[in-house]
Structures are given as structure tokens and as C-alpha cells.
Structure 1
Amino acid sequence: MSYKEKNPLPPNAPSWCQAPFDPERVLSFMIVVVTCLIWLQFGRVIVHLKDHREKIVHWTGPSLGLLKLGFVLDFFGIKRVQMS
């Protein structure tokens, strides 16, 4: 028995509820891809740069950029979703 048969949608449900598409799956995949790219960049810096000062200087810009992005997203009310 499918989910729609057990729990039918209310009559005033938006049309995108009828679609066989899960937006959470796409969003989760995008987050995983971005996280992997960040860690690949982090590993590349560790391998190629030997001096600790160079590593710190190299990561200061992107770190501050991501911090600013986090503050902007928090300001507009976009929060990290906690899974229970």
C-alpha cells in the first residue's frame, strides 16, 4: 500500500505535493557534494603546502568567506535543520 493510499492529501494541498519528486533528496545531495569539495580542497592544501604559515594564510580567506555566508544565512532566518 502506498503512502498516498494510507494518508491521502487534503483537498487544498499545493500541486507540487502530487509530484513524485523529493526535494530533500536533491538538497541533501548538494550539501554532500559541497562538503566533499571543501574537504578535498583542505586535503590538497595539507599535501602541497609545507609551511604552517602558508596553510593559515591560504585558509584565512575562504574561512572568513564561509563565516560571512553563515552570518548572512542566519540573518535571513535560514537555519540548519536538526534531524530527530
Structure 2
Amino acid sequence: MWRQFYNLTRVGVQGLYITMFDEYSEGNQIAKTAESGAWVPAGSGIRALDEDGTACTSDYYLRLTNDGGRMFKGQAPVTATRPAQPWPA
């Protein structure tokens, strides 16, 4: 996701779109989610953020979106290195 923010900003795209919290029926929302499988109801089929072995806070993609938006608007430097870390110190 960060690479997309970076590439679009770097090439000068004039706008990007990320859906809002109330668009759950479209399946492309960004919202807090389960940090680990321990947070997921058994048998629900819901995937947790640590499925790939990387622990992330439940708001990681929200923080990543905030940082990407700031970079896109010129409020933060254009960088290939994402400022939002999966688990802040």
C-alpha cells in the first residue's frame, strides 16, 4: 500500500481515492481490524493482520493511509520508506 502512495505521488498523479468507513458493502473499506487470530471469532473465516507473520496494530492501515495522504498533499516528504511502522515503539 505504501509503495502505491509513493509511486502515485512521485509520478504526479492529481488525485487518489480511498473509500470511507461507511462503505462496507463495497468490500474496499479501510478500518480497524483484528491484530491476531486470537481476536477473530472461531469459524468466522475472517483473516487477521498477522496472517503473514508480521504483527501489526489494529489501526495500522489507518495510520498508513494518514501518512500517505500527508505525503500526497506535500505535507510530508516523498519517501519510499513508510513512516508508519506495523508496531510503533
Normalised by the length of structure 1, the TM-score is: 0.25
More helix per residue? 1
Normalised by the length of structure 2, the TM-score is: 0.24
Q: Which has the larger radius of gyration?
A: 1
Q: Which has the higher contact order (CA 8 A, sep 6+)?
A: 2
